[in-house]
Amino acid sequence: MWDFGFSVSDGPYFRAEAQHTLPPGRGIGDYRELVLGQDASFAWHHLQVWAGSLRSPFRGSARR
């Protein structure tokens, strides 16, 4: 009847194509993103309900 899920992803915020747009001395790895996701679903006969949420705190480098 119930189903629950959780997912995590971590990696660079920018794609490689953005390297030339970054400030001098900065790299793609200096801008990282963590995405946390969770979902729940309920199904009973013809009734089906889904819900989900994502959280994505941006973690930029503290270097200046």
Domain ranges in the chain are 2-60
Report residue 47: phi and psi, to 5°. Answer: -85, 125
Predicted TM-score (pTM) of the model is: 0.64
Q: What is the pLDDT along the chain (64 residues), one digit of tens a residue?
A: 999 999 999 888 888 999 999 999 888 988 888 899 999 999 999 999 999 999 987 666 555 5
Q: In sequence order, which residues have a C-beta less than 8 Å from that of residue 56 and are 6 or more positions away?
A: 33, 34, 35, 36
